Amino acid sequence: MSQVLTGTTAAQEEKSHTPLVEAMLRLHKNRTAMAGLVIVGIFVFLALFGPLIAPHDPLEQSLYNKLKPPVWDARGSMSFFLGTDDFGRDLLSRLIHGARISMLVGVVSVSISLFFGTIAGAVAGFYRGWVDVIIMRVMDILLAFPSILLAIVIVAFLGPSLENAMIAIGIVSIPRYARIVRGSVLEEYSKDYVQAARALGASDFRLIFQHILPNCLAPLIVQTTLGFASAILEAAALSFLGLGAQPPTPEWGAMLAGGRALILRAWWVVTFPGITILLAVLGFNLLGDGLRDALDPRLRD
C-alpha cells in the first residue's frame, strides 16, 4: 500500500512541474543529449578560457620544432602534446584558440539567421496572403541552392575573410528559421488566446511578439542548437577552400587546408583538427536531438 502511495505521490509531483522543468528532467534522462551537453560545455569552456589554458602562443613559430610528432620528449614531459605543424606551431594551442573562433562563428551566424528568419517567418505566417507568397518564394529560391555553394558565392562577392564567411553562413540559414517560425505562427494564430487578445484591441506587433512568438520557442531552440553545428561545419569548409579565416588564424578548417599536403608524412597535422571538428559538430547535434525530444509535447507521458 505504501509503495502505491509513494508511486502516486511521485507521479503527482512530476505532473505538478512546469513545462520547462519537465523538459529539463526529460533532457537529463537522455544519455546521448547529456553527452552532447558535456562536449558542448568543454568547447565553450575552451572558448572562454583558451588563452589561460593553451600551453603556447598559437602563432609562435619555431623551425627547430617543425613537424614534431605527439610523443614524449627527452625530459619526460609533453611539451607538444599533439605535435607541431610545418611552422613549428603547437597544434594543441591552435586547436584551443580555434574553439573561440568556431564558437564566435556559431554565435554570429546563428544570430543573423535567427533574427531575420524569425521576422520573415512571423510576418509571413501572421499576415498570410500575398505577403506570405512573396516572402516564402524568396525563401524557396534560397533553399534551391546548396547552402555551401550559395555561401561560396556570397563570400566570393564580399571577399574572403572570417567576417564575410559568418555573414554568408547567416544568410544561407535564414530560410530554415523562416519556415519553422511560419509553421508555428500558422498553428498558433487560430488559437483562442490570440483571438481573445485581438478582441481586447492588441496591435499586430503585440500579438506577434508578445503572444505568438513566445509559444514558438521550442522548435527555435532546437534549430538554433543544430544551427551551431551547421555553422561550425560550413565555416570550416569555407576556410578549407581559402574563403574563410585566413592564415595564420588558428581556425580548424584553415588548419586542415594547411596540413593536407603533409597527410602522408605528418598525419597529426590534419587528424587532430578533423577530430576536433567532428566532436564539436557531434556535440551540438546530440544536444539538439535531445532538446527536440525533450521539448516535443507529443513525447510526454
* Range from 129-143, 205-219, 229-243 carrying the lowest mean pLDDT: 205-219
Which amino acid would we find at residue 129? Answer: G
Q: Is residue 169 within 8 Å of residue 231, measured between CB atoms?
A: yes
**Domain locations in the chain?**
30-59+81-299
Residue 19, C-alpha cell as written in the block: 513545462
CA–CA dist 127, 122 (Å, integer): 8
The pTM score is: 0.85
CA–CA dist 40, 279 (Å, integer): 9
Residues 6+ apart with CB under 8 A from 126: 185, 189, 204, 207, 208, 212
**Does residue 24 or residue 155 have the better pLDDT?**
155
Q: Is 140 exposed, middle or buried (0-12, 13-18, 19+ CB in 10 A)?
A: exposed
Q: What is the mean pLDDT of residues 3-29?
A: 59
pLDDT of residue 286: 92
Q: What is the mean pLDDT of residues 123-148?
A: 91
Residue 55, C-alpha cell as written in the block: 600551453
SS3 90: strand
- The torsion defined by the Cα of 60, 65, 69 and 74, in degrees rounded to 10, comes to -120
pLDDT of residue 300: 54
Q: What is the mean pLDDT of residues 178-206?
A: 86
DSSP 65: G
pLDDT digits (tens, 9 = 90+) for 98-117: 999 999 999 999 999 999 99
Pick 30-59+81-299's CATH classification: 1.20.1440.230, 3.40.640.10, 3.30.70.100, 1.10.3720.10: 1.10.3720.10
Residue 95, C-alpha cell as written in the block: 586547436
Query: φ, ψ for residue 84 (rounded to 5)?
Result: -130, 165
pLDDT digits (tens, 9 = 90+) for 52-78: 888 888 988 888 888 888 865 545 445
pLDDT of residue 153: 93
pLDDT band at 1 (very low <50, low <70, confident <90, very high): very low
pLDDT of residue 16: 52
From residue 108, how far is each of 103, 113, 171, 214, 238 by CA, in Å?
A: 9, 9, 11, 22, 16
pLDDT of residue 19: 62
Kindly provide the residue ranges of all beta strands, DSSP E only, lying in the chain, ordered along the sequence.
none
CA–CA dist 166, 171 (Å, integer): 9
